[in-house]
Amino acid sequence: MNEILRVEHLRKYFIKKGMFGSKSTTVKATDDVSFTLRKGEVLVLAGESGSGKSTIAKLILKSIQADSGKIFFEEQEINNEKKSLEKIRMNCQMIHQDPYDSINPRMQIGDIVSEPLEIHKIGNKKERSERVIEVLQEVKLEPAEEIINKYPHMLSGGQRQRVVLARALALKPKIILADEPVSMLDVSIRAEMLELMQELQKKYEISFIYITHDLATARYFGQRIAILYLGKIIEIGLINQVLTNPRHPYTQALIDAISEPDPENLHKEREIRINESKNIDVYQGCRFRARCPYVVEKCDTEPNLEKIDDEHYCACHVTLD
């Protein structure tokens, strides 16, 4: 079997308390999400802010509890027992958008990178120090022997994100969940960081879930892509299939937004904005229907993901007709 991770029907709702006496609302951050991550692949999760990308990553690592659904790592279901949690947390590492979310500014780099090894009681002190030097060299932070004594503020933003990558690599994880790992970096160093992640991903055949709203970096780094909209996967397939032949109007709009402006695209964008103002319960029927330029009557019922081509699935009543 070439899968390493599988999530089935994951669901996580949040209750948002109303302000100044207004009613509470339910946010369906992850709603019946299922997908498989294959060994050694980079699966991109893309979608606009609030579509539920980070929530999925947190559910996989069990840093938040799902309302329902299952997670399988190497065919074994992850439950809340200590052994099971340890297994997923050793094999699956997270890289956050902001390095300061995962590194303590008062710790030296050597201790930051060594911390996961200590938590999971890997090796003795000498072996841990050797591993720290090794991973710092892997992420090209050199001379590693000097870097270990520095503090995060003494490094550049790009270097700090390399520290985060080194820390994630220290335990030789099989999976890395990278949540917008380059979006806070200067454009000039973004490519370097992506190249480095790609090099290490290939060298160690690490499976990546790469979370981004940037389709250009998705195309560069990913093999498959799942497009999320309000907590649901609305299209999934090989990067080339989805980005060159997008079938869902939302995917089309996302791609139009980054392509060269031409009169037709501007027209579509305008239509999407106009529809957005309709007062519709987004969780009834197709979630995109309030913004969709192609909406028809049957969009009142929720479309399922259906196969349109090998590997390519889309949830839309209109484009699948």
Ligand X SMILES: Nc1ncnc2c1ncn2[C@@H]1O[C@H](COP(=O)(O)OP(=O)(O)OP(=O)(O)O)[C@@H](O)[C@H]1O
Nearer to Mg ion, 54 or 102 (CB): 54
Least separation, in Å, of the C-beta of 228 and ligand X? 7
51 binds ligand X (CB under 6 A): yes
Find the binder of Mg ion among 54, 93, 161, 212 (CB under 5 A).
54
- Rounded to an integer, what is the distance from CA 42 to the centroid of its chain? 10
From residue 99 to residue 138, the character string flagging contacts with Mg ion as x (rule: CB under 5 A) and all else as - is ----------------------------------------
- By beta-carbon proximity to Mg ion, the closer residue of 54 and 252 is 54
Tokens representing 17? 């308390």
Of 242, 241, 191, 248, the closest CA to residue 220 belongs to 191
Q: Which does 55 bind (CB under 5 to 8 A by kind): ligand X, Mg ion, none?
A: ligand X
In the bound state, the residue with its beta carbon closest to Mg ion is 54
CB under 6 A: which stretch of 44-52, 187-195, 278-286, 303-311 binds ligand X?
A: 44-52
Give dist(CA 281, CA 106) in Å, integer. 47
Contacts of 202-205 with C-beta under 8 Å, sequence gap 24+, read 204/169, 204/172, 205/39, 205/40
Residue 29 found at the interface with ligand X (CB under 6 A): yes
- Distance set, CA 103 to CA 94, 158, 294 (Å): 12, 14, 46
Sign of CA dihedral 71, 76, 80, 82: negative
Tell me how far, at minimum, the Cβ of 52 lies from ligand X, in Å: 4
Task: Return the number of the residue (16 or 278) whose C-beta is nearest ligand X.
Answer: 16
Cβ atoms of 166 and 110 closer than 8 Å: no
Interacting residues toward Mg ion by CB under 5 A:
54
Interacting residues toward ligand X by CB under 6 A:
14, 16, 27, 29, 47, 49-55, 213
